[in-house]
Amino acid sequence: MKLKNIFKAALALALALSLAACSAKSPVEAAGTGASGTGKKVGVAMPTQSSQRWIQDGDNMRKELEALGYEVDLQYAEDDVQQQVSQIENLINNGADCLVVAAVDSAALVNALGQAKSNGIPVIAYDRLLMDTDAVSYYATFDNEGIGRIIGEYIEAKMSLATAKADGKTYNIEFFMGSPDDNNAVFLDRGLFSVLQQYLDSGVLVCQSGQTKFAQTNTLRWSQETAQKRCEDILSGYYAGGEHLDIIASAFDGLSYGCAAALMGAGYAIGNDWPIITGQDAELMAVKNIIAGSQAMSIFKDTRELSKKCVTMVQAVLEGKDPEINDKTTYNNNKLVVPSYLCIPIPVDTANYKEQLVGSGYYTEDALK
């Protein structure tokens, strides 16, 4: 090559390199724009759109991940176990680099998650622990036993249970717990009874139906209809003779709606002889019910916070970063203790919903009207 041509070639190469440098972002620049996940696919498997919270969870996850440059495939299984299995298999076959899973029934997912593992696809458990599998890397959730404890403490404070014995007071209570295939439901039940069992033992709380064990009080798939039917049966079977139901310990807003419908059907009136009804998720409808008086409280689980924590776990498994973990002991899924981040649940009622929910921008004042 002549000297002139060598010079031309060198110039062309320098130009090409400088153009490439302009278009490809350095790692520092990519971090600055948040586009660190460019080109990677994240499959997100959510349980159902029948409850507002999971719609928010899905939306938040999509938003957070896309902002980082990930491609997102978001699937809802509508509480159908087999549908979720197929969705996860499809996500694997369609080339997901990472899976985020909030299970309908995690026992049914063991094989599909094993498949993910053998394909080198890391899995993050979202809010619900994935049981009986070693294919899970991290778990983003709330303090589920803490939620049960908070609900118990709310009932304890509202009904002044600590002094009820001395005051000669007793209250009738019924329990509506979550789905038996969801580890969260078991943890919540445990937390609840860590506070209330003493009052059942001392006779301050009376469960007329006698249904206090989780095996009796659970509600498959957290179904509102199932809770309503069970509450109707309890009201007609144990409260038709003049007994008054004072407290419904409900583990989820959807169950609370079902119980409220059953109470109305049985002639209970809001503001008059209406029982204290608890809940979980601070769904928009539940907060409206709290304002209207048909529900006493709910648990605010800030899904924005949860999805942020989950996204740091996705980044960790895909980019070799360290996610923030604050629990390494609680969540044993029968195969391993899954490193977890537990977000903080907050009880909300008429006294603090404005501060917690409107103040934090979770709901607008208008949406609550």
Per CB under 6 A, the list member of 79, 181, 281, 302 interacting with ligand BGC is: 281
CB nearer to ligand BGC: give 185 or 205: 185
Element (H, E) at 81: helix 81-93
Q: With respect to ligand BGC, which residue has the nearer C-beta, 100 or 318?
A: 100
137 part of the interface to ligand BGC, by CB under 6 A: no
Compare residues 194 and 198 and give the one whose CB is closer to ligand BGC.
194
278 binds ligand BGC (CB under 6 A): no
Q: Is residue 127 close enough to count as binding ligand BGC by CB under 6 A?
A: yes
CB-hemisphere CA count at 13 Å for 193? Answer: 16
Find the binder of ligand BGC among 128, 149, 230, 309 (CB under 6 A). 128
One-letter amino acid at 335 equals K
> Does 149 sit near ligand BGC (CB under 6 A)?
no
If one asks whether residue 309 binds ligand BGC (CB under 6 A), the answer comes out as no
Applying CB under 6 A, which of residues 252, 257, 300, 353 lies at the interface with ligand BGC? 252
Give me the torsion for CA of 350, 351, 352, 357, rounded to 10°: 20
**256 near ligand BGC, rule: CB under 6 A:** no
- The partner residues of 348 in beta bridges, in order of sequence, read 298
Which one of the spans 14-22, 178-186, 290-298, 319-327 is the region binding ligand BGC (CB under 6 A)?
A: 178-186
Q: Strand (E) positions, the chain?
A: 41-46, 71-76, 98-101, 123-126, 136-142, 171-176, 205-206, 247-250, 276-277, 298-300, 340-343, 346-348
Does 145 help bind ligand BGC (rule: CB under 6 A)? Answer: no
Decide the pairing of beta strands 298-300 and 346-348.
antiparallel
Instruction: Give CA–CA dist 274/279, Å, rounded.
Output: 15
- With CB under 6 A as the contact rule, which of the stretches 151-159, 161-169, 176-184, 194-202 interacts with ligand BGC? 176-184
Tell the smallest beta-carbon distance from residue 283 to ligand BGC (Å): 9
Nearest approach in angstroms of CB 25 to ligand BGC is 38
Is 56 a binder of ligand BGC (CB under 6 A)? Answer: no
- Tell me if residue 71 falls in helix, strand or coil: strand
Residue from 172, 224, 280, 294 in contact with ligand BGC (CB under 6 A): 280
Size of the site for ligand BGC (CB under 6 A): 12
The Cα–Cα gap between 309 and 139 comes to 9
Nearest-approach distance from CB 309 to ligand BGC, in angstroms? 14
**Under rule CB under 6 A, residue 51 binds ligand BGC:** yes
C-alpha to C-alpha distance for 324 and 340, rounded to whole angstroms = 9
Closer Cβ to ligand BGC, 52 or 208, answer by number: 52
Minimum Å distance from CB 255 to ligand BGC? 9
In contact, 122 and 318? CB cutoff 8 Å: yes
- Residue 182 touches ligand BGC, criterion: CB under 6 A: yes
* Contacts of ligand BGC in 209-228 (CB under 6 A): 222
Q: Cβ(47)–Cβ(77) under 8 Å?
A: yes
How far apart CA 343 and CA 136 sit, in angstroms, is: 19
Q: Are strands 136-142 and 346-348 parallel, antiparallel or unpaired?
A: unpaired
Q: How far is the CB of 235 from ligand BGC (least distance, A)?
A: 23
Instruction: Please say whether the dihedral angle defined by the alpha carbons of residues 224, 227, 229 and 231, taken in this order, is positive or negative.
Output: negative
Residue 226 CB coordination number (10 Å): 18
Choose between 40 and 128: whose C-beta lies nearer to ligand BGC.
Answer: 128
Residues near ligand BGC, by CB under 6 A: 51, 53, 127-128, 178, 182, 184, 222, 252, 280-281, 301
